[in-house]
Chains A and B, each alone.
Chain A
Amino acid sequence: MGALSKTVQPQTAGPIYTGVDQHHDFSKYGGVHRLSSGSFLRSVLAVQPRSFSPQSFIYWLVLGIVLFAVLYPAGVIILSSFETPGEKLVSGIGLQAWKIAFADPAIISAIWNTLTITLARQAIALPIAILLSWILARTDVPGANALEFLFWLGYFLPPLPVTMGWILLLDPDYGLLNQWLTHLPFVNKAPFNIYSFWGIVWAHLTTSTIAVEVMLLTPAFRNMDATLEEASLVSGAGVIRTIKKIVVPLMTPIVGVVLLLGIVHSLQAFELELILGFPFRFYVFSTQIHWLLNQQPPQFAAATALGSTILFLMVPLIALQRRGVARRSFATVGGRYKGQKQSLRKWRWLIFVILLAVALLITVIPLLFLTVASFMARFGYFSVPKPWTALHWSRVIDDSVFLDSLKNTLVLAGATALVSVVLFTLIAYIVIRTNFVGRAALDMVSWLPSTLPGIILGLGLLSVFLGTPFLRSLYGSMFLLIIATVISSMTLGVQVIKGALGQLAVELEEAAKVAGGSGWNSFRDIVLPIIAPSMLLVGTLSFIAAARNVSTVALISTSRTRPLSLLQLDFLVESRYESAAVIGIIVVMLTTGVALISRLLGLRTGMER
């Protein structure tokens, strides 16, 4: 196996994640810029001795836009954490907000709880997601495409009604599953308790964590060269060992990115913790932020101090991840690419059943919860005289702002998806495929939006939109909402496309250039078709993120630009969760339509073609 490992080691030593590998001739750019996080500042400040070209203009323009759109609000947020609140909004500068934020004795346990729950979530979800993705993308398991789509669907479902569904099943006092199980002769008390550490972990795993990780990893696995696995299997390594020794190392960058994204999302998760954690006084970092924002008057400065802490904590991890992937090439799609799938032989149907069971657990059951919730007089009360009703549907559809909100959502989510695909592809291309002097800065900065909780990012954007004269005139318009949702989706989108580009060996584009094609031609004819599935995935993810966004959008929308997510918020505030579930279903239907189209397009292009 040792010998085998050597044979399948990535063939290039160049740091493909900085766009550099040994096959590429960089002499015309004035030498190789091998960048790591350490050279981040130098890369930004370095003077680039090169002549002006349309490409470099675009690169600088993209860098300028991203720096302005991300660093400006992030800077405002950090600065506002040092503001001292007073009678006239801000009375001075100091550390008072930080003291308030960290003076609460609950903050220590909140940090500890956040770390342990993040660790538990990722320790369980990531190995499962890697295995599931590999099976879906690299084996001949029946119905792989349909199963993969079920995981997509799982991610689209709104978490709150799904969590209510799990409460209905797993509440220690009245949970249906617990009640059924206690009828068994050897079960004396309710075996499950949703209001517990593991209850929260379970709810996270089944609402989104596994689904999104499968969603992100499967396209990357699909782009893996089959010859590497074949070599391993032929040498008798077995499936699990092949995954461990071949697949995982080759997938390191994307797995690292998925892990990092998972950590960031775990740090920000708060809805489930608020519902399931509060009853047993289980607080996490984000519930502390929520708590500060719900003080009267709201403690914005202290909340931004906590929000900034996540940012400061994540920056070294992001740098570490960049450094890790910068040392090697992870290109798996080269001139000799072979997309053949591994045969599962006699295990094929058994694995299919297992996969189906997982998909049912994280998609079909929650979808059932959601649908049932939308048709019940009150979700969970099956024994009342008239448990079923269509009232919630008519309440939503007859609402005077429903149609306008639907239209706004379509415009917002559709435009966000389009802008995201174009902008994030450009960013990823610049980072991976060029030696542009600001690419490390671009890469680092694209991570920042995800490190800030939605409402904190919303506060920063609000300051930017109001504080910038040329944007102020657009305040209240749909344009600013689109900018906000694009920024919110940036990290995930850029990382997904970066992952796909990183797997693509530079030799393919070089071949096109050797054959006389221009840079644009090689991008259009070689790169674009291969990364198209990832671009479409990004479009879909940006669509759903924009359609569901509440925290950022609530701060900058107006009565004319109000999307469905704010109508849903109205219902949630009124405790009309059933009506909110109806909106959840409508958003899922819209996104599923977009996802189906993008998958049809994606499967016709890319490595499946």
Chain B
Amino acid sequence: MYESTSRRIVPFVVILLIGAARAECQEWKTKWDKVLADGKKEGKVAVAGPPGTAYREVMRGFEKKYPEIALEFQSFTPSNFTARFSKERQAGQYLWDIYVTGPTGFDISAKKAGDLDPIRPLFILPEVLDEKAWFGGFDKAFLDSEKKYIFAFQAQITPQVLINREFVSEKDLNSIKGLLDPKWKGKIAINDPRVDGAGNGRIALWAGQMGEEFVRALLKQDLTLTRDDRQLADWLARGKFPIAIGVNDTDVAELQKLGVGAKVEPLGGKLAEAWRLSTGWGAARLVNKAPHVNAATVYVNWLLSKEGQSAWATTVSRPSRRIDVPRVAGMSPEPGIDYFDIDREERVPLRDKAQEISKSVLR
């Protein structure tokens, strides 16, 4: 009896599921076609993005794929964009659709002020919404606590400290804690941790994982400060300062390609306090009162698609959070490891604390 019933039900369920899947497919397709048509009518999308030629080049892919939608892409440093955006808002000018940059203080203040709209509803393409396509899952890519405003599509593991083994042997120093040894006084350089950036991120991670005391003791090791990434990489490679905190690993990689700093390597092996997960400049937000919201939807779906993220990973040489695109050697996160992500909104107090400690110690 049951057998005959199930024989009759199974095909029915299968048909229902196929129907639902088709309907769903039909649903996103219908939605996408409408957005695309409306986006083409709007004719352009205004995107503020990070400074750097590579980021600009990535966007060429969108122009090629959707020639009917003109991309007005402009590079800004975070402070320049914040200045311009706030003045424009004061004057009632709503000129931007999407803002792509790293996590900054702008996110918190803009969200509180209602200057951001949720970006999540813009995601339409199934490949964008695919849970399995993203490192750690789709939801984990949102940096904000509401999981709808700031989508971090770049996930890069960066070493906390790089060390030049030509000048410091493994026997002398092989752990992060070892940095507190007085013999390293005056031998460590750091990207200024008193302002937002690579140095501050490192100190914040240690403040969270190793405690405030460790951070204070480290900052008292007569650190040499710089705000110039290149200077820090040069110092490390030449051995002027054989230990560097917050150094840009791309700069070091460029030097190593030339045969300089061949023995520069991360300090601390695979330990949690030796690595951080970084968003870099790769996070997208939807600005509220966006003038071309349909074109912006097309743009965001392209950017987060396999095609857009492949372009990002290969042109910018920064790893995508998507796991189905080309990996960037030495920078893509390893599956199964729970990296400490300092860029999340809930970690903002930690970053603020790190800045406060740095300001008080490094006068």
Asked if A573 and B52 make an inter-chain contact with CB atoms under 8 angstroms apart, the answer reads yes
Inter-chain contact A466/B56, CB cutoff 8 Å: no
Closest CB in chain A relative to B82 CB, distance in Å: 5
With A and B bound together, what is the CA distance between A399 and B315 in angstroms? Answer: 13
Q: Which of A462, A467, A570 contacts B83 (CB 8 A)?
A: A462
- Chain B 207-242, CB-CB to A under 8 Å as 1, else 0, gives 000000000000000001111111101100010100
Interface string of A203-247 (1 = CB under 8 A from B): 000000000000000000000000000000000000000000000
Interface string of B70-84 (1 = CB under 8 A from A): 001111111110111
| B78 pairs with A569, CB closer than 8 A | no
Chain B, residue nearest A572 (CB): B51
Nearest CB of B to A125, in Å: 26
Contact call A459/B231, Cβ cutoff below 8 A: no
Interface string of B45-77 (1 = CB under 8 A from A): 000000111101100100000000000111111
With beta carbons under 8 angstroms apart, the residue of B79, B109, B224, B255 that contacts A294 is B79
Residues on A with beta carbons closer than 8 Å to the beta carbon of B77:
554, 573
Alpha-carbon gap, A475 to B92, bound state (A): 13
Instruction: Point out the residue from B93, B106, B258 that lies within 8 Å of A378, measured CB to CB.
Output: B258
Q: Is A173 an interface residue (CB 8 A)?
A: yes
Assess whether B80 is in contact with A378, with CB atoms less than 8 Å apart.
no
CA distance A386 to B258 in the complex (A): 8
> Are A466 and B227 interface neighbours, CB within 8 A?
no
Which B residues are in CB contact (< 8 Å) with A567? Answer: 53
B307 sits at the interface (CB 8 A) = no
One of B78, B90, B362 near A466 (C-beta < 8 A): B90
Please give me the residue from chain A that is nearest to B228 by CB atom: A275
The docked-state distance in angstroms from the alpha carbon of A571 to that of B72 is 20
* Cβ A466 vs Cβ B51 within 8 A: no
Range class of the B interface residue count: 35 or more
Do the beta carbons of A566 and B258 come within 8 Å of each other?
Answer: no
B254 touches A173 (CB 8 A): no
C-alpha gap A291/B91 in the complex (Å)? 27
Q: Please tell me which one of the listed residues A171, A295, A381 contacts residue B258 in the complex, with CB atoms under 8 A apart.
A: A381
Question: Are A566 and B75 in contact (CB-based, < 8 A)?
Answer: yes
Instruction: State which residues 173-228 of B face A: CB under 8 Å.
Output: 189, 192, 194-197, 224-228
Q: B139 at the A/B interface (Cβ < 8 Å)? A: no
Given contacts A294-B195, A472-B91, contact A279 B226 (CB under 8 A): yes
For B171, the chain A residues whose CB sits under 8 A away are: none
State in angstroms the CA–CA spacing of A395 and B52 once bound together: 13
Question: Does A106 sit at the interface, judged by CB under 8 A?
Answer: yes
Binary contact track A570-609/B, C-beta < 8 Å → 1, others 0: 1101111100000000000000000000000000000000
Bound-state Cα–Cα, A459 to B195, Å: 21
Instruction: Provide the A402-428 mask, 1 if CB < 8 A to any CB of B, else 0.
Output: 000000000000000000000000000
Beyond A377-B258, A380-B234, whether A279 also contacts B224 by CB under 8 A is yes
10 pairs of residues in contact across A and B, judged by CB atoms under 8 Å: A89-B89, A297-B82, A384-B259, A462-B87, A466-B87, A466-B88, A475-B93, A570-B56, A575-B248, A575-B250
B: residues with CB less than 8 A from A are 51-54, 56-57, 60, 72-80, 82-84, 86-91, 93, 104-106, 108-109, 112-113, 189, 192, 194-197, 224-231, 233-234, 238, 240, 248, 250-251, 254-255, 258-260, 362-363
Apart from A554-B76, A562-B74, what 5 extra A-B contacts exist at CB < 8 Å?
A90-B90, A300-B83, A400-B60, A559-B73, A569-B75
